[in-house]
Structure 1
Amino acid sequence: MRVLVTGSTGAVGRRACPRLAEAGHEVVGVDRFSSVRPAPGVDIVTADLAVTDLRRLVDDVDTVVHLASSLRPQLARVDPGHAIPAVAQRLLAALEDSPVTHLVVLSTAMVYGAWPDNPVPLTEEAEVRPCPNFRFAVRRTDLEERAMAWGCANDDRVVTMLRPAVTVAEEKPGGLARLLSAAVAIRSEEGDPMGQFLHADDLAEAVVVAVDQRPLGPLNVAPDGWIPAPLMAELGGQVPRLRLPAGLAGAVARLRWSLGLTEAPPGILPYTVYPWVVSNDRIRSLGWEPRHTNEEAYVAGHEPGALDQLDARSRQLLSLGAAAALLTGFLAGLVWLVRRVTGASPDR
């Protein structure tokens, strides 16, 4: 089978391509960059999906694995995932008259949203309702809808949507992991999140299973179980955190964002409060097995820093100091905003 993989030099793509080749597939990787040496059995094509004529890339392909359009924290201030709809539309248009009958799309478990009434864990039958203020999750939902519309237009087409938990790797944490890590400086009194972390190796194995088995519809991809909230708090103990009432936590998150003090958009805050862990029963039934636990994946993607060398008491003191500084900054910002509004009002 001839398989085309977009985003082939990313953390997941460069792991999935050689695995697909080892499974007996003829693999063509597509990416904007070609700095990664291709693995045996993998051909790399340098192309920008936003401008390249994609029809020539898919005219002799059986399956397309769409891994491109990942989350880039440096673009989060503009619109995280802003390129997803445009690239998807171009790709799907190219697939219309192609021999491709199977499309594998990389989505995210964030499409379920983080809500107080979410079941634990979420299965593929759960309603898709992303938190509306986090555009990355909304964009991924749009991607899924576009892909399913393409699939429904022809009975021979199969669309598989991978919905992974937060994905990490040794070389660096993923963009989503970075944003969530930045967001935990603010804690709402409404609760602490459970954690689910997926190693990029396991996600690459899920890609192979999806290509080989051709399952229709969504597939949650996550290790068995999740990390309970208390253990998550312990694992992230080195991060100074300020716990606030829900309304105030949102206001502080928005203020930090507006002042450029964080790369985490305020819309991601619910994902650090409410549950959105997923079940892996369906993909396990297809023969997939995770090689890494949640804890192992978390450690693999966690970059130790100077704060990790401090003992618990020192971290607590630092956290209290940071909380006081942050609260002082918030109050100062609020006073400045009130004075600005008052000063801007005409004196009549």
Structure 2
Amino acid sequence: MTAGSTLHAGRGGIWVSDADGALGTRVLGRLGAHAGFHTVAAEACDVAVYAGAADPDTLARRRQSITRGAAAVFDQIDHAHHLVLVSSAMVYGAWENNPVPLTEDAPVRPDNEFAYARQLATVEHMADEWRRARPGRTVTVLRPVIAMAANGTSGLARALAAGLGQRFAVDDPPSQFLHLDDLASAVVLAAEESLDGVFNVAPDGYVPAASVRALAGAAPRLQLPDRLADVVNTVRWRFQRGPIPPGLRSYTRSPWLVANDRLKARGWRPTVTNEQAYVEGTEAKWWTMITPKRRQELSLGALVVGGVGVIATIVAVIRSVRRRRARR
């Protein structure tokens, strides 16, 4: 299958971008179950599905700009009457004053430090311009939460999953995890029904931070104040030793839960729970197999080792200062 593929039935075809990707293959598989579908050129499609903007791994691998890639696609599908754009719920931004849950009427205000979310918001605006360029066009904008699967979890999704609910003794916000199969079914529904407007895509409910920690098997570690942790994590990321890029941290500390009522009202139903999607999309860690008592012992051990390390560092500094003074 090529990077883009179109399935045809009746009066027009459905073009799917990035057809060889984790989401594209799922969408084509569902569309192919309908009798009479076949591939046609993207320029001749009647309905276009653009999922490329929501695939940060492919964009990074191709060294492709999100906005430039979207502009090229929108020019290519000039004859289409309907567009399905897969964006992200990250365009809402993660803010302490966000309503819980966010509906599609909430303002778009992504974190200024996170370029990917800002660029997705720009692509949504470009899609609206494509709609208004010709009468009769419609656009579906899908805003999924973190999408995961055993063979399709992106690096961005893994980074978010690694950071969510992982601060101890802190009331972190709950999280949502969507299975790629459920996202694919939302894409197919939007394409077949030519849904018009913005639709959040999320499972029912959410996972509390404590449950995320339990699912992740959070490792024993020395807890640091947020400001010091930010400095340490920034250095770790710079040397490719940390999972969370600086601009992504707000999405692990403030709420951005979304409601799925609007899409469900059009017939969509999630089939995989938040917990199931998380477990399938992440790898279990060795410490999830040990007992809570043993984890507590390891945690205490980590605290002791950390404390000894701090004391040893202080002693070494004092001795160094004394030696310099003695030489004078």
TM-score by length of 2: 0.81
1:72 aligns with 2:83: no
Partner in structure 2 of residue 35 of structure 1: none
Deviation string 1:136-166 (CA, Å, 9 cap, x unpaired) is 2112112111111111222211111111111
Deviation string 1:12-62 (CA, Å, 9 cap, x unpaired) is 11111121122457354xxxxxxxxxxxxxx7xxxxxxxxxxxxx432110
Within the candidate set 126, 134, 142, 2:114 is matched to 134
Q: How many residues align?
A: 301
Contact 1:63 1:102 in 2 (8 A): yes
1:89 aligns with 2:71: yes
> Matched residue of 1:187: which SS?
coil
Cα offset for 1:135? 1.8
CA–CA separation in structure 2 for the residues paired with 1:157 and 1:322:
60
How large is the Cα RMSD of the aligned pairs? 3.1
Deviation string 1:91-125 (CA, Å, 9 cap, x unpaired) is 11223xx3201111111111111100011111100
Structure with the larger helix share: 2
CA–CA separation in structure 1 for the residues paired with 2:63 and 2:106:
23
Partner in structure 1 of residue 203 of structure 2: 223
> Matched residue of 1:161: which SS?
strand
Partner in structure 2 of residue 5 of structure 1: 16
CA–CA separation in structure 2 for the residues paired with 1:189 and 1:212:
47
Q: What pairs with 1:1-348 in structure 2 (closer than 5 Å)?
A: 1-24=12-35, 26=37, 28=39, 57-69=41-53, 70-72=55-57, 75=60, 83-95=65-77, 98-184=78-164, 187=167, 191-240=171-220, 243-319=223-299
Q: Which runs of 5+ in 1 are unaligned?
A: 29-42, 44-56, 333-348
CA–CA separation in structure 2 for the residues paired with 1:239 and 1:6:
39
> CA 1:74/1:219 → structure 2, altered by over 3 Å: closer, same or farther?
closer
Cα offset for 1:325? 7.5
CA–CA separation in structure 1 for the residues paired with 2:300 and 2:247:
25
> CA 1:18/1:316 → structure 2, altered by over 3 Å: closer, same or farther?
same
CA–CA separation in structure 2 for the residues paired with 1:140 and 1:126:
16
Contact 1:3 1:25 in 2 (8 A): no
Deviation string 1:149-196 (CA, Å, 9 cap, x unpaired) is 111222211111111111111225332221113435963876312111
Contact 2:87 2:143 in 1 (8 A): yes
CA–CA separation in structure 2 for the residues paired with 1:64 and 1:250:
41
Contact 1:186 1:244 in 2 (8 A): no
Deviation string 1:185-230 (CA, Å, 9 cap, x unpaired) is 9638763121111111111100111012212221100111111222
Contact 1:238 1:315 in 2 (8 A): no
CA–CA separation in structure 1 for the residues paired with 2:75 and 2:101:
35
Contact 2:216 2:284 in 1 (8 A): no
CA–CA separation in structure 2 for the residues paired with 1:317 and 1:172:
36
CA–CA separation in structure 2 for the residues paired with 1:190 and 1:81:
37
> CA 1:174/1:237 → structure 2, altered by over 3 Å: closer, same or farther?
same
Q: Which runs of 5+ in 2 are unaligned?
A: 1-11, 314-328
Cα offset for 1:67? 1.3
Contact 1:185 1:240 in 2 (8 A): no
Contact 2:104 2:198 in 1 (8 A): yes
Contact 2:165 2:212 in 1 (8 A): no
The sequence identity of aligned pairs, in percent, is 39
Cα offset for 1:326? 8.2
CA–CA separation in structure 1 for the residues paired with 2:123 and 2:168:
31
